[in-house]
Structures are given as structure tokens and as C-alpha cells.
């Protein structure tokens, strides 16, 4: 048997239960991971609350969590890129908050020895999303990028990747996060009323592109700052189409893990990219992890420890 955090109805964190389930078996092209750590993302509680399926009921209980790090325990047919005992991390479709999870073999990234399971579990979603949004914006060295929610996980990775590529990065965030952002090389400005004027003051030569990770109604002004809705992308604002802005949520836009981590891992190892872990929780306290994520204002990632 395995254990998994699941819920049988949409609702608040209290609907989450740690339950025993049958040990999952990998199919063709899949592996079973013995999970050591799992990352927490805002999308987890949004799905749990039913925000993407209004008016619908769950047909059956479902798991939560979309990124995990652990040890390959079993491989399915036709898998020759991973073997039992390999330490890896990956994104999964669902159910990462569990003792065991099924993952696609072609999505695995082998974990280097210098990276902990907790650090590795924090990486897949934020790193891929950051790489995807920067690819869409097609930014290049010498340009200036504005990142809304610069202290969130995606904002942190995107900002540091952009700096490594030679861009200047302006980031909106609460004043409590400014010192940390400055340490990373990001030029922070306070979000809220007056943010446009503060951005213009910080970037007198203008803004070339904008990544919105906040969803706080900043798209109209962001388009005005760049002069072109094609130079703005959001991962958080459902009104994107009203402003001619692209909303990206993955799908066929995803950047392959091998490509993402060929850039991210060397920067991490060299100390040129940091993704702090805000807090860790045991698997049995998954509801508390969801509450903290839903409350917002987390610097970095929340991680669940398993085992």
C-alpha cells in the first residue's frame, strides 16, 4: 500500500485527507517514484477549490501536487533512461503529495548529489514556467524586463534567468521582499497604487517586456508601458484576452525538462540562481501547506517532506 493526500469534494484545505491507496504500477514509458519531497504551488489549491471547474462535482477522489523528487522504485515497459535507485525530480500530472507517484520517464531530471530532495522538489514548475514565459517574450541581452510578483517562485526564477542572460530586471513586490530581490540583482518597486510611476522612475529608458505572475489587474498598464500586448505575458490573470495579452498555462507550450535544466542547474550550482524554501511540512500537514500557499506572500516555495 501507499499513502496519498486526496480530496473527495471541492472546498477549503479541510477537505484534504491522507489516505491509504493501492501501490501504483507504472505503465509503458512510466516509472514509479518513492517520493522524498513534493512542491506546493498555487495551482494546487485553485484546483482543490474547483476554480477551474465551476459548478461541477468531483466524479471520484483525486490527489494533489504536481512536482516531486524521489527515488525510482520501478520502471514500466520500454523505459531505458531510468533504473531503480536513480535519484530524480520531475513534474507530474497530479498526486505528487504521496509516498509514491507515477511519472513519465521522459520527464525525469537526474538529481545531482549537491542538490537536496527538498530543493529539487521546488524546481520543476517554477523553472519550466519561467523558461516558457521568457521564451514567449523572446527577450534578449540589453533589454529591460518587468516582473510582477517578483518574489514569487516563478518571478524569482524568471528574474534570475533574465539577469543571467544579460537583461535588466525590474520587479514589483512588497517592501519586505526588496532587500532579498536586490541581493539577486533585481531592481524592486512596491506594487499597489502608483506602481506605474515607480516603474517608469526605475526604468527611464522604458520597459521592453512584462511577465505578470500576480494577477492583480496590471495588464492594461503593462501593455501601455511596452506599447504592444505581444510584449506582455501572464500566468495569473484570466482577463488576458480582454487586453490582447497571452495567457500561458503550459500544455503544448511547455519547454522540455532537459532544455530547462541544462540552463537552471549550472546556475544553481554556481550560486547564480536561488529559490528559497519558505517552509516545509510533513505530508500529514498538507492542509496547513495549502492554507499557507492560499494566504499568499510566501517568499519562494513551500515543500512537503515525505518519509
pLDDT tens digits along 244-253: 999 999 888 9
Instruction: Give the tens place of pLDDT for each residue, 225-276.
Output: 999 999 999 999 999 999 999 999 988 899 999 999 999 999 999 999 999 9
Q: Kindly list the distances between the CA atom of residue 81 and the CA atoms of 30, 31, 72, 284, in Å, as whole numbers in the listed order.
A: 10, 10, 11, 32
The percentage of residues in the chain with a pLDDT greater than 70, rounded to a whole number, is: 100
Q: Report whether pLDDT(96) > 90.
A: yes
The residue-averaged pLDDT of 12-21 equals 97
pLDDT grade for 296, boundaries at 50, 70 and 90: confident
The percentage of residues in the chain with a pLDDT greater than 90, rounded to a whole number, is: 96
Spatial separation of the C-alpha atoms in residues 1 and 264, rounded to whole Å: 35
User: Is residue 140 within 8 Å of 66, Cβ to Cβ?
Assistant: no
Segment holding 154, helix H or strand E:
helix 153-164
C-alpha angle 80-83-86 in degrees, rounded to nearest 5: 130
Q: Report whether pLDDT(299) > 80.
A: yes
SS3 category, 108: coil
pLDDT grade for 307, boundaries at 50, 70 and 90: confident
Q: Quick one: 1 exposed, middle or buried, by C-beta within 10 A (0-12, 13-18, 19+)?
A: exposed
SS3 category, 28: coil
Spatial separation of the C-alpha atoms in residues 161 and 120, rounded to whole Å: 17
Instruction: Give the tens place of pLDDT for each residue, 101-145.
Output: 999 999 999 999 999 999 999 999 999 999 999 999 999 999 999
Instruction: Give the tens place of pLDDT for each residue, 182-224.
Output: 999 999 999 999 999 999 999 999 999 999 999 999 999 999 9
pTM: 0.95
SS3 category, 15: helix
307 Cα distance to chain centroid: 23
Question: Considering the chain, what is the average pLDDT of its residues?
Answer: 96
The residue-averaged pLDDT of 67-74 equals 98
SS3 category, 256: coil
**pLDDT score of 298:** 86
**pLDDT score of 130:** 98
SS3 category, 123: coil
Amino acid at each position: 500500500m501507499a499513502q496519498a493526500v486526496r480530496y473527495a469534494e471541492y472546498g477549503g484545505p479541510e477537505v484534504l485527507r491522507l489516505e491509504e491507496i493501492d501501490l501504483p504500477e507504472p505503465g509503458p514509458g512510466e516509472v514509479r517514484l518513492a517520493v522524498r519531497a513534493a512542491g506546493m504551488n498555487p495551482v494546487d489549491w485553485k484546483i482543490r477549490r474547483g476554480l477551474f471547474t465551476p459548478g461541477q462535482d468531483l466524479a471520484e477522489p483525486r490527489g494533489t501536487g504536481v512536482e516531486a523528487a524521489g527515488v525510482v522504485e520501478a520502471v514500466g515497459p520500454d523505459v531505458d533512461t531510468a533504473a531503480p535507485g536513480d535519484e530524480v525530480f520531475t513534474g507530474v500530472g497530479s498526486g505528487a503529495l504521496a509516498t509514491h507517484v507515477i511519472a513519465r520517464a521522459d520527464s525525469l531530471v537526474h538529481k545531482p548529489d549537491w542538490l537536496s530532495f527538498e530543493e529539487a522538489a521546488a524546481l520543476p514548475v517554477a523553472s519550466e514556467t519561467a523558461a516558457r514565459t521568457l521564451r514567449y517574450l523572446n527577450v534578449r541581452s540589453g533589454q529591460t524586463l518587468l516582473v510582477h510578483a517578483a518574489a514569487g517562485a516563478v518571478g524569482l526564477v524568471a528574474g534570475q534567468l533574465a539577469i543571467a542572460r544579460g537583461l535588466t530586471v525590474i520587479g514589483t513586490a512588497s517592501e519586505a521582499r526588496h532587500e532579498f530581490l536586490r541581493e539577486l540583482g533585481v531592481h524592486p518597486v512596491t506594487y499597489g497604487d502608483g506602481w506605474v510611476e515607480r516603474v517608469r522612475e526605475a526604468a527611464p529608458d522604458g520597459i521592453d517586456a512584462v511577465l505578470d505572475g500576480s494577477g492583480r489587474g496590471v495588464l492594461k498598464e503593462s501593455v501601455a508601458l511596452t506599447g504592444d500586448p505581444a510584449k506582455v505575458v501572464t500566468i495569473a490573470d484570466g482577463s488576458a484576452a480582454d487586453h490582447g495579452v497571452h495567457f500561458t498555462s503550459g500544455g503544448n507550450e511547455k519547454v522540455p525538462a532537459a532544455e530547462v535544466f541544462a540552463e537552471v542547474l549550472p546556475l544553481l550550482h554556481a550560486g547564480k540562481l536561488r529559490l528559497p524554501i519558505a517552509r516545509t511540512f510533513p505530508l500529514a500537514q498538507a492542509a496547513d501547506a495549502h492554507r499557507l500557499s492560499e494566504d499568499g506572500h510566501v517568499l519562494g516555495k513551500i515543500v512537503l517532506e515525505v518519509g
